[in-house]
Amino acid sequence: MKASNNRWADFQERSVQFLDHPITQGGKIYALLSLVLIFLTVFQVALAAKNPSLVQQYSVIFVSVENLILFFFSVDLLLRLIVYRDKFKYLFSFYGFVDVVAVVPGLVGLFFPLADSTSWVRVLRIFRVGRVLRTVSTDGIFAGFNGQLMPYVAVAISFKALVLVLEEQQWWPEISDLGVVLGVVGFALAVLLGTKLRLVNSRMYSIEDAICRIVGALRLMRNEKSIRRELDNWAFMFEKTIHNPTKEDVAEMRLISDDLAAVFVRSSIGGPNIAGFTRDVAYVLHRVTGTVPPAYENFLRHVTFAYTTAIVLVVPGLTGFLTAILVVYILIGMYLLIDDMDRPLAYNESSFITANLEPLTVFNENNTLRDR
């Protein structure tokens, strides 16, 4: 009996890992298939809203695909209810709500065909997009930039699919003649994004240049044996500080740099090389925690999301559906990339673009090898 319980517990653990944190090839394929079917659902809703004659003409294909998608998510929901230990917690969670709403209306439609033809059932299918958040957050699946951008794309296309359904209602307002306005706002947004890109790009490369000058000065000063140990300790602490720096670490590093300057004075070491070294160190420690002014950042964020929302709402039909995908991927993608560049020394898994500190790293590694 105990062995049976252990096997069941092991099956539960492996099943939960397969569903929520896939590490096997099969689990990753399952997560990818789930994502494809989610977006296929939204596309079907959009197509049914704007081209019902086409859906009617190929009704057998569309119904078969919808039933296949429904079967997939029904089995997925059933499996989760079987293997999850805390089933009620799952059902009353956000993802549990999404899974139930994505499945139950479709199952009702199988027994009551008239209900399946109503627009509200089609709208409820859009809730499947909520599963994208879980799919892209799984370990090893859709990591990196596309994984971070995917939820924005999913929300945009689901919102646009909802708009396409509402556009078929008589009370939905028709908005036109906004091409010039959207063009002007788009140009202004490009200027804002370009200005921030220039600022953050300049700061990142100026930090890299200062690091190279600091390492060059360290190589020269290390020839003075009387300060070699203090210099090596300072270089190690300096590299450690500017990796994912905090204001507290930077403040402490300034004090350590002041102590090193006192060592220079006691050792009668000075000259333009020391002056340039201390100036570059002060510059790097000043810039490592700097960011674009909050007022500019907030305004850029609001304009980006407002413009994207306007595109989703205003551009009609399937053209608007494709436009929403393209605009969100490009504009929101640019915003996220430039925002990531605004933290050039944030070395973590979610960082995409960081400053190159290889000269300092190599300097410290070589010194460690020499001292052995």
Q: For residue 182, name the pLDDT band (cuts at 50, 70, 90).
A: confident
Instruction: Say how far residue 186 (Cα) sits from the centre of its chain.
Output: 23
The answer on pLDDT for 112 being more than 70 is no
Cα torsion for 12, 14, 16, 17, to the nearest 10°? 160
Question: What pLDDT sits at residue 313?
Answer: 82
Rounded CA-CA distance 173/313 in Å is: 11
Q: Is the pLDDT of residue 331 over 80?
A: yes
Contact between 245 and 251 (Cβ < 8 Å): no
Among 283, 261, 126, smallest CA distance to 212 is for: 283
Residue 339 CB-half CA count within 13 A: 17
Tokens standing for 63? 């119904």
Tokens standing for residue 293:
């002014």
What pLDDT is stored for residue 310 in this prediction? Answer: 85
The answer to whether 355 and 188 have CB atoms below 8 angstroms apart is no
Length of the chain measured in residues = 372
Using pLDDT thresholds of 50, 70 and 90, give the confidence band for residue 88: confident
Can you give the pLDDT at residue 115? 47
Rounded-to-integer distance, Cα 257 and Cα 230, Å: 10
- Is the pLDDT at 68 greater than 60? The verdict is yes
> For residues 13 and 141, which has the higher predicted lDDT (pLDDT)?
13
Which range, of 139-143, 215-219, 319-323, averages the lowest pLDDT?
139-143
DSSP letters, 200-221, are HHHHHHHHHHHHHHHHHHHHHH
Asked if 100 and 130 touch (Cβ cutoff 8 Å), the reply is: no
Q: End-to-end alpha-carbon separation of the chain, Å?
A: 58
pLDDT of residue 136: 61
The per-residue DSSP string of 66-98 comes to HHHHHHHHHHHHHHHHHH-S-HHHHHTSHHHHH
Mean pLDDT of 293-315: 87
Closest of 367, 347, 349, 370 to residue 357, by C-alpha? 347
Across 76-105, average pLDDT:
84
* Amino acid type, 249: D
pTM reported for the whole predicted model: 0.75
Please report, for the chain, the start and end positions of each structural domain, with discontinuous segments joined by +.
2-167, 176-372
**Spatial distance between the Cα atoms of 13 and 204, rounded to a whole number of angstroms:** 45
Query: 16: which residues sit within 8 A by CB, 6+ positions away?
Result: 83, 84
For residue 255, the model assigns a pLDDT of 92
pLDDT, mean over the chain: 81
Q: Express each pLDDT in 118-167 by its tens digit.
A: 556 666 677 777 676 666 654 455 566 777 787 888 888 888 877 777 77
Mean pLDDT along residues 102-126 = 66
Kindly give the residue spans of alpha helices, DSSP state H, lying in the chain: 2-20, 25-50, 52-57, 59-83, 87-91, 94-111, 113-116, 119-125, 131-136, 144-167, 179-221, 228-242, 247-266, 272-287, 294-314, 317-327, 333-341, 358-371
pLDDT the model gives residue 26: 81
Q: Give pLDDT, residue 252.
A: 92
Specify the pLDDT at position 236: 92
Taking the C-alpha atoms of residue 10 and residue 3, their distance in angstroms, rounded to an integer, is 10
Instruction: Give the C-alpha separation, 142 to 132, whole Å.
Output: 11
pLDDT at 212: 92
Residues 262 and 274: their CA atoms lie apart, in Å, by: 12
> Tens of pLDDT along 341-358?
888 888 877 788 888 888
pLDDT at 141: 56
% of the chain residues with pLDDT over 70: 89
pLDDT at 116: 47
CA neighbor of 119 nearest in space, from 57, 173, 172, 64: 172
For the segment 215-238, the average pLDDT, to the nearest whole number, is: 88
Tell me which DSSP letter residue 117 carries. Answer: T
* pLDDT exceeds 60 at position 1: no
Looking at per-residue pLDDT, the higher value among 358 and 15 belongs to 358
- What pLDDT score does 9 carry? 77
- Higher pLDDT, residue 356 or 320: 356
SS (H, E, C) 219-247: HHHCCCHHHHHHHHHHHHHHHHHHCCCCH
Q: Which of 56-65, 228-237, 263-272 has maximum average pLDDT?
A: 228-237
